[in-house]
Amino acid sequence: MKNNKTQQIKFTKHNVLTCFFAVFFVLFAVASVATSSDEFIENQIAVVRVLHKPSVRVSVHEIPVGRDFAFSRLGMTVRACMTTQPFMAEDHFMFIEIARANNRIFSGWMTASAPGDNPLQDSEYDVWLVECR
């Protein structure tokens, strides 16, 4: 008789655990779908740091999204500048096009959280995203 009760309790625990994991999975799936559409806040200003390597001169510039910006021999156009939502880990992303003497030397995404992963490869300049405002 004890065996039947023990099996019944184990079966009940199994059902509870199964229901718990099913509910957890459904809530997780709904939460990931709900946040995927608005993961970033679009901003209008990109704050960019520029290093001129030969003179070791560093300067910080605010570049409006969609406008051309000239600095020394560089021409920069920020196409997008986005920030993560407030409830997520803070990070900033920008899509920028950079030209020197009318020759494009870079076009792509940069992130503020990893300035060492700067994809711009140039002998004269380094450009980093500081933040989006």
Residue 9, both tokens:
């309790």
Phi, psi of 42, deg, nearest 5? -80, 135
Q: Which tens digit of pLDDT belongs to each residue from 31-43?
A: 444 444 478 999 9
**Per-residue model confidence (pLDDT) at position 14:** 60
Tens of pLDDT, residues 113-133? 988 887 788 899 999 999 999
Cβ neighbours for 96, distance < 8 A, ≥ 6 positions apart: 46, 48, 76, 77, 78, 79, 106, 107, 108, 110, 127, 129
79: Cβ contacts below 8 Å, ≥ 6 apart: 65, 66, 94, 95, 96, 97
Q: Among 19-28, 37-46, 98-107, which is the least confidently predicted range?
A: 19-28
Backbone angles phi, psi at 23, to 5 degrees: -65, -45
Q: Where are the domains of the chain?
A: 1-37, 40-132
pLDDT in tens, 40-89: 999 999 999 999 999 999 999 999 999 999 999 999 999 999 999 988 88
